[in-house]
Chains A and B, each alone.
Chain A
């Protein structure tokens, strides 16, 4: 196997980190909707912590993406 082919496969595997981020962001969004439905007056604070949460959850997917990009475009 050539090194570049292995790099492509590795990039594909690295991007699988998006799975976890997707689940995490989906959970966070669902809970946020529930929380806002329960207490609409606190939507500002809820949105703040939601943004923080998805930023942290998204980080894993971004790390995977960065690794994949490093493998693809050296």
Chain B
């Protein structure tokens, strides 16, 4: 938000906040690839997660200290849940679901790191929720549904997949096919709508009362909602994969 933001109406300011900006373009192979701010935030989060896990796992101790304890608890938790839901195949999907969960937690909680995104002043860095971009959530959902389809082929084979499509009765075929579209659509739209809605509500709260209220409301709209959506997305992905391979 620049100084020009002062002159804008509330609706225009919200429009500007939720818009995806193209930061720069990569000119390669005759193509001009626009790099949006959400992609840059994604890269920053990726760098953080990869560097963090490299530093953490470099020296593992038998008697863990606090950061290692946290990582152990997270990995152990994801391994336990995936084994519970997916049975003996759980281990091969634990890394994927754990990555998804970790990335979603980071993506949904990163905006809390930036100072109150009020109007009229520009913090040193300004992280807007990257899941406000439908392309990001759609990519996540596409990755999940690709994993679901791939796991069906892997564990049941082509014939098993075809047989699953016409079960319990042949006329269910269109509905079974529609599931492959509805599942990712609902995953993507749920995450996108929740995060964007919470972001807009936070912008409104900041416009109404810039001092005092935003941190309290942020506890619910940013922290709680962000965590719940990360959990729901990963949980639904786990269940979809479990349905596919059982």
Query: Using a CB–CB distance below 8 Å, which chain A residues touch chain B?
Result: 48, 51-52, 55-56, 58-59, 62-63, 65-66, 69, 72-73
Contact = CB atoms under 8 A, between A and B. Distances in A.
Nearest to A74: B15
A52 B183 CA distance: 13
B14 interface: yes
A4 B18 CA distance: 19
Interface string B188-228: 01101110110010000000000000000000000000001
A59 B232 CA distance: 11
Interface of B: 11, 14-15, 18, 186, 189-190, 192-194, 196-197, 200, 228, 231-232, 235-236, 239
A72 B197 contact: no
A58 B11 contact: no
Contacts, number: 41
Contact of A59 (B15, B189, B196, B239): B189
B232 A65 contact: no
B202 to A, nearest CB: 14
Nearest to A64: B193
Contacts of A66: 189, 192-193, 196
Contacts of A62: 189-190, 193-194, 197
Contact of A52 (B18, B196, B200, B235): B235
Contacts of A56: 186
Chain B CB count within 10 A is highest, among A51, A63, A66, for: A66
Chain A CB count within 10 A is highest, among B190, B193, B194, for: B193
B189 A69 contact: no
B231 A51 contact: yes
